[in-house]
């Protein structure tokens, strides 16, 4: 487990340097582009839902950070009690397309905290009590986001993966760009 956490820390540092490098290279900004977006995503990287902020570094590159927190009864598992999940999706996305319609390709990580009574398997991870984890994630989808702001709509595939297991998710988002 120590090796896995070390590996994901290195991935997080690498992604941070990539975002920094992209932002420095893109300091000559297009003034007509609304760079900020806030949206609510159903399913997707947050597994059930997430609230997200997305910043367009360049017209083709965006950086996203999100938050999710939810509790489910463990009736779907063998133990009695609740599964508590708190996560932070962090992604770099590449957008291509014309006008407001874009193909969105993204890669990132989701550090999360999980608490569960008893011993269970969740996304291929053995859970007992309270633990911190890091998942890899990606996005392949469609994004509608006009360059001058307004409604943001996203739909796509959002896989989550560890070294032991993976899960294909899908997500749909609605929000506002400004």
Q: Give strand ranges (E) for 26-149.
A: 36-43, 49-58, 61-73, 82-87, 90-96, 101-122, 125-144
Contact 68, 47 (CB under 8 A): yes
pLDDT tens-digit series, residues 69-81 = 999 887 665 566 7
Block means of pLDDT (10 residues each) for the chain, length 178 residues? Answer: 57 60 53 91 96 97 98 70 91 96 98 84 77 94 96 98 87 98
pTM: 0.79
User: Model confidence over 157-166: pLDDT tens digits?
Assistant: 999 998 878 8
Ordered by start, the domain boundaries in the chain are 2-140
The DSSP bridge partners found for residue 15 are: none
Residue where the block lists tokens 């309270």? 130
Q: Is the dihedral of CA 134, 135, 140, 146 positive or negative?
A: negative
- Phi, psi for 61 (deg, rounded to 5): -125, 130
CA end-to-end span of the chain: 41
Are 64 and 54 spatial neighbours (Cβ–Cβ below 8 Å)?
yes
CB burial class (10 A; 0-12, 13-18, 19+) of residue 171? buried
To the nearest 10°, report the CA torsion of 91, 145, 151, 92. Answer: 10
């Amino acid at each position: 487990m120590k090796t896995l956490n070390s590996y994901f820390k290195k991935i997080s540092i690498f992604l941070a340097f990539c975002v920094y490098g992209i932002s420095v290279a893109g300091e000559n900004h297009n003034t007509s582009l609304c760079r900020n977006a806030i949206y609510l995503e159903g399913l997707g990287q947050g597994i059930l839902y997430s609230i997200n902020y997305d910043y367009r570094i360049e017209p083709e590159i965006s950086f996203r950070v999100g938050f999710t927190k939810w509790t489910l009864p463990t009736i779907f598992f063998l133990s009695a009690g609740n599964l508590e999940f708190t996560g932070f999706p962090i992604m770099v996305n590449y957008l291509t397309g014309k006008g407001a319609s874009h193909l969105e390709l993204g890669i990132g990580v989701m550090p999360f905290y999980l608490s569960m009574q008893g011993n269970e398997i969740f996304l291929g991870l053995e859970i007992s009590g309270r633990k911190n984890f890091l998942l890899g994630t990606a996005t392949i989808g469609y994004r509608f986001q006009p360059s001058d702001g307004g409604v943001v709509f996203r739909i796509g595939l959002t896989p989550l993966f560890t070294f032991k297991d993976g899960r294909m998710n899908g997500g749909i988002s609605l929000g506002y760009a400004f």
